[in-house]
Structure 1
């Protein structure tokens, strides 16, 4: 019998825990602060930022949204990031992608203080992740949220074969690192992989994050596999779907995330959770 991994319900549970943490901090006279910088008028990005802002406010987090024209220079954007670095009321900084082509996204990421890098993209934090460092550091929110989902459903990763499809810095690479750190054996597939079925048909866990409609079908997986779908696609009927052919795969999977209602809600919930964690870690470090 297939188990649906309910991201909406788990996000609600996570947000409730975060709200309690925020209330506890406020009783100490501390309000966690999150700053989101968005450049340009990308509709999907603006919708995502609105959802982040709304969730933060609902949980009691001080949410600051900085909207900038796509004509801003790289130097001007760096100056704004530096101001947020120096603002003691801000514990987490996120610069929403995509950025205009005249701005080097990696350069902007490197300008964010590692201890305020709520997205977990700074090379310093990525290095800690791949080293499986035992100190506190932020991790990319989507992969971290997926690990929360796997833990919630008591999915054991030790010694399991895990396949990550996609090698982006946002999902694929940090996801592979987290799974490896959890004791799984990892294979990362990408656009140059000649035959993905060679790897997916024997995998215990598959994380699909490519933005390719119907990438995985029932013939692509083994019976009882855990299927985590990070894809965001619009199908021929205009509906939001993932990388996985959900209806075809459903009866063959052991666990599966739906789209929508799976990974997506946990990404935002994890962002809020990590904002609070950054706040607490800052206190513990004496800052």
Structure 2
């Protein structure tokens, strides 16, 4: 296995397959993707630009609905009513401002258009393993596909998941456990004492450079899901793992950017196309 788990080639291959599949449907109108953003988070801006670029490459009509961070919950919900009518798939770009309850806004997306897989209804179907159609949250799906690409087998491995968000940590822990891994979960409240025993460590805690070499065992495989602003002036990004600090200790690691991020966007587009499959 190579040391840097980059996703460029995999993402390129998967997007080419998606484009070919989408063209085979001979749709009368382009698939429509609506992206809802509140505020002007620099990391979110970069990520949205990439999503829209990929959508355009696939022939998907992507529209950004951007609102000031002063918008109220009620105002946003009213705007979303109209957006829900127009779009085939909808993404709410996180994080939202503190005065807006995140789950209320996520649940305002019709579950059948919830390509991020974050509505309460979608989560119920995922965790209760019902036969009803549901989406694997896009970031979690992207991580799983990247791990499969690099033949990272979780069966009988000690897997430590740092972060319990509905976006990444919780669904990944659930799915990986079902695949035979011995899973432990951690967050800022519990601390991360114990991850030094992990064969595979997945970090999605949302804190820049949170995990250091001292927290990892030699030879661990590290999946860094974090996307944080490392430099306000240059808008450079960094992960939740202190990359330069751990690189000599781990056997493999996803860089930020260039690791999980591109596969998250691929997974989003797969979830969108799943709507019409």
TM-score, with length taken from structure 2: 0.88
Per the TM alignment, residue 187 of structure 1 is displaced from its structure 2 partner at its CA by 0.9
CA distance in structure 2 between the aligned counterparts of 1:45 and 1:213, rounded to whole angstroms: 15
Per the TM alignment, residue 62 of structure 1 is displaced from its structure 2 partner at its CA by 1.7
Per the TM alignment, residue 201 of structure 1 is displaced from its structure 2 partner at its CA by 2.0
Higher mean C-alpha deviation, range 176-185 or range 118-127 = 176-185
> Equivalent residues in 2 for 1:67-216 (5 A)?
67-87=66-86, 90-194=87-191, 196-197=192-193, 199-216=194-211
CA distance in structure 2 between the aligned counterparts of 1:133 and 1:153, rounded to whole angstroms: 29
Alignment RMSD:
2.4
1:241 maps to which of 238, 241, 247: 238
CA distance in structure 1 between the aligned counterparts of 2:82 and 2:228, rounded to whole angstroms: 36
CA distance in structure 1 between the aligned counterparts of 2:3 and 2:132, rounded to whole angstroms: 34
Per the TM alignment, residue 207 of structure 1 is displaced from its structure 2 partner at its CA by 0.5
CA distance in structure 2 between the aligned counterparts of 1:40 and 1:22, rounded to whole angstroms: 32
CA contact (8 A) 1:2 1:252 kept: no
CA distance in structure 2 between the aligned counterparts of 1:43 and 1:215, rounded to whole angstroms: 20
Query: Is the partner of 1:183 in helix, strand or coil?
Result: coil
Note if 1:12 corresponds to 2:30.
Answer: no
Note if 1:260 corresponds to 2:257.
Answer: yes
Per the TM alignment, residue 86 of structure 1 is displaced from its structure 2 partner at its CA by 3.2
Query: Is the partner of 1:188 in helix, strand or coil?
Result: strand
Query: Is the partner of 2:250 in helix, strand or coil?
Result: coil
Aligned residues: 275
Number of the residue aligned with 1:229: 224
Query: Is the partner of 1:13 in helix, strand or coil?
Result: helix
Q: Is there any run of 5+ residues in structure 2 with no aligned partner, and where? A: none
CA contact (8 A) 1:233 1:241 kept: yes
CA distance in structure 2 between the aligned counterparts of 1:278 and 1:214, rounded to whole angstroms: 37
Q: Deviations over 1:89-137 (max 9, x none)?
A: x221112223344432211111211110011100111122222344431
Pair 271,253 (structure 1): closer, same or farther in 2 beyond 3 Å = same
CA distance in structure 2 between the aligned counterparts of 1:247 and 1:99, rounded to whole angstroms: 30
Per the TM alignment, residue 235 of structure 1 is displaced from its structure 2 partner at its CA by 4.9
Per the TM alignment, residue 243 of structure 1 is displaced from its structure 2 partner at its CA by 2.4
Q: Is there any run of 5+ residues in structure 1 with no aligned partner, and where? A: 281-287
Number of the residue aligned with 1:48: 47
Query: Is the partner of 1:170 in helix, strand or coil?
Result: coil
Per the TM alignment, residue 28 of structure 1 is displaced from its structure 2 partner at its CA by 4.5
CA contact (8 A) 1:240 1:259 kept: yes
